[in-house]
Amino acid sequence: MKRHLLSAADLTRDDAELVLRTAEELRSLADRPIKKLPALRGRTVVNLFFEDSTRTRISFEAAAKRLSADVINFAAKGSSLSKGESLKDTALTLEAMGADAVVVRHSASGAPHRLANSGWVRSSVVNAGDGTHEHPTQALLDAFTMWRHLAPQSGGSLDGRRVAIVGDVLHSRVARSNALLLRTLGAEVTLVAPPTLFPVGIESWPVETSYDLDSVLPKADVVMMLRVQRERMHGGFFPTAREYSRRYGLDGRRMATLQDHTIVMHPGPMVRGMEITADVADSDRSVIVEQVTNGVAVRMAVLYLLLGGSQPAVSTEGLPE
Ligand code: NCD
């Protein structure tokens, strides 16, 4: 693996499969009474969040702590960042504190790349979501969830599996990272959105596109719903919320057209009643809560592999069975 994880495109198929296999080993830890491993003892992980987050920040914190790293949480609110301190000065502070890994979320696309490539810090940089650009650990946890459900029936891989990603593709870093990673893992991605919610240059993405959700659903092995990111919208991208739900929302009627094995995913936070109805979100097909559990194992794997883990991550020595 490279030193940083900035884009899903940084991962070769071998890298991605190594993360999935390591996450699988680490996931078993969640079922043990003592959930901690000594793998990153003495290392420091800084969570640097310039943008709001619930799942991702808590998930990285739990992941680092379960590997026995020291964790420093640094939120923009309540820090000198709100006094106008620059990314550079923040980076120099982190460097002075001896951070080994910096997990960064920022509203500006490219901020993690700036941090990694500026020479300001020596640590590994992990992109935890930058603007509308990328969110590679979300893509890894999504792929891990799909792999656990679908790979056992298809020779241990996602080759040829069909994934529909539906909704606000334009503002979604989750969609971009998933499209890149799933392509690397051999799956076929179809993005479904109204014409106004596809980004410019979508032709160069390794995906199919469609405006018609009803024609895509019966063929999909996975349906991933995206939140409409109102906080990034300045203008009308669709007539009304009701109209959006009618054409692009997943409800019980549409769910009934899915194949028996098809799973429903959502990265969270969900807007119930908008892109997904409550009955679908809470149905047996929904793996949305499992995505959160898997996120911790995947982030443990990423931190462990980036910080140079060469021994098996899980040693059974000294741990109660
Ligand atoms: C996503 C994000 O922040 O990009 N959520 C997440 O990380 N779990 C998607 C979203 O905000 O809709």
Give the Å distance between the CA of 142 and the centre of ligand 1. 12
**Is residue 321 assigned to a domain?**
no
**pLDDT for position 315:** 56
Give the Å distance between the CA of 184 and the centre of ligand 1. 22
List pLDDT tens digits, range 9-52.
999 999 999 999 999 999 988 788 888 999 999 999 999 999 88
Q: What is the largest CA-CA distance in the chain?
A: 60
**pLDDT for position 321:** 39
319 has a pLDDT exceeding 50: no
Give the Å distance between the CA of 200 and the centre of ligand 1. 21
Same domain for 108 and 146, yes or no, is: no
Range of the domain at 193: 136-290
Give residue 83's pLDDT band: very low, low, confident or very high (50, 70, 90). Answer: low
Give the Å distance between the CA of 174 and the centre of ligand 1. 7
81 has a pLDDT exceeding 70: no
- In Å, how far are 90, 94, 107, 124, 250 from 99, measured between CA atoms? 12, 6, 22, 9, 43
Among 138, 219, 122, 217, which Cα is nearest to 174's?
138
Token pair for 214: 């009803």
Give the Å distance between the CA of 304 and the centre of ligand 1. 23
Same domain for 90 and 161, yes or no, is: no
**Is residue 320 assigned to a domain?**
no
Of residues 126 and 315, more confidence is placed in 126
318 has a pLDDT exceeding 50: no
List pLDDT tens digits, range 202-237.
999 999 999 999 999 999 999 999 999 988 887 788
What's the rounded mean pLDDT across residues 260-266?
98
List pLDDT tens digits, range 103-125.
999 999 999 999 999 889 999 99
Give the Å distance between the CA of 289 and the centre of ligand 1. 14
Same domain for 95 and 30, yes or no, is: yes
Ligand 1 pocket test: pick from 51, 126, 135, 140 the residue with the most ligand atoms within 8 Å of its Cβ. Answer: 135
DSSP state of 291: H
Q: Out of 119-128, 285-294, 307-316, which region has the weakest mean confidence (pLDDT)? A: 307-316
Give the Å distance between the CA of 155 and the centre of ligand 1. 31
**pLDDT for position 57:** 96
**Is residue 242 assigned to a domain?**
yes
Please tell me the distance from the alpha carbon of residue 126 to that of residue 211, in angstroms, as a whole number.
33
Task: Say how many domains are in the chain.
Answer: 2
Same domain for 271 and 299, yes or no, is: no
Contacts of 289 (CB under 8 A, 6+ apart): none
Give the Å distance between the CA of 214 and the centre of ligand 1. 25
**Is residue 318 assigned to a domain?**
no
Same domain for 203 and 178, yes or no, is: yes
Rounded to the nearest integer, the mean pLDDT of the chain is 92
**Would you say 248 and 225 are in contact if contact means Cβ atoms under 8 Å apart?**
no
312 has a pLDDT exceeding 90: no
Share of the chain above pLDDT 70, in %: 93
**Is residue 192 assigned to a domain?**
yes
Question: Given the CA of residue 53, which atom of ligand 1 is nearest to it?
Answer: 3
- Judge if the upstream peptide bond of residue 206 is cis by omega within 30 degrees of 0: no
Q: What is the pTM of this model?
A: 0.94
274: CATH: 3.40.50.1370
**pLDDT for position 297:** 97
Quickly list DSSP for 227-281: ---GGG--S-SSS-HHHHHHHH-B-HHHHTTS-TT-EEE--S---BTTTB-HHHH
**pLDDT for position 148:** 97
Same domain for 115 and 155, yes or no, is: no
240 has a pLDDT exceeding 50: yes
Same domain for 176 and 238, yes or no, is: yes
Same domain for 169 and 258, yes or no, is: yes
What's the rounded mean pLDDT across residues 119-147?
96
Ligand 1 pocket test: pick from 109, 132, 174, 232 the residue with the most ligand atoms within 8 Å of its Cβ. Answer: 174
Share of the chain above pLDDT 90, in %: 78
What's the rounded mean pLDDT across residues 77-91?
74
Going by alpha carbons, the residue nearest to atom 12 of ligand 1 is 227
Same domain for 28 and 69, yes or no, is: yes
**Would you say 132 and 172 are in contact if contact means Cβ atoms under 8 Å apart?**
yes
Enumerate residues lining ligand 1, CB below 6 A.
55-56, 129, 135, 138, 173-174, 227, 229, 267-268
77 has a pLDDT exceeding 80: no
**Is residue 313 assigned to a domain?**
no
Contacts of 94 (CB under 8 A, 6+ apart): 46, 48, 74, 102, 121, 123
**Would you say 188 and 178 are in contact if contact means Cβ atoms under 8 Å apart?**
no
**pLDDT for position 320:** 40
Calculate ∠ Cα 304-174-133, nearest 5°. 95
Same domain for 196 and 276, yes or no, is: yes
Question: Given the CA of residue 267, which atom of ligand 1 is nearest to it?
Answer: 8
Amino acid at 314: V
Question: Given the CA of residue 51, which atom of ligand 1 is nearest to it?
Answer: 3
What's the rounded mean pLDDT across residues 181-198?
98
Same domain for 128 and 169, yes or no, is: no
**Is residue 271 assigned to a domain?**
yes
Same domain for 158 and 269, yes or no, is: yes
**Is residue 2 assigned to a domain?**
no
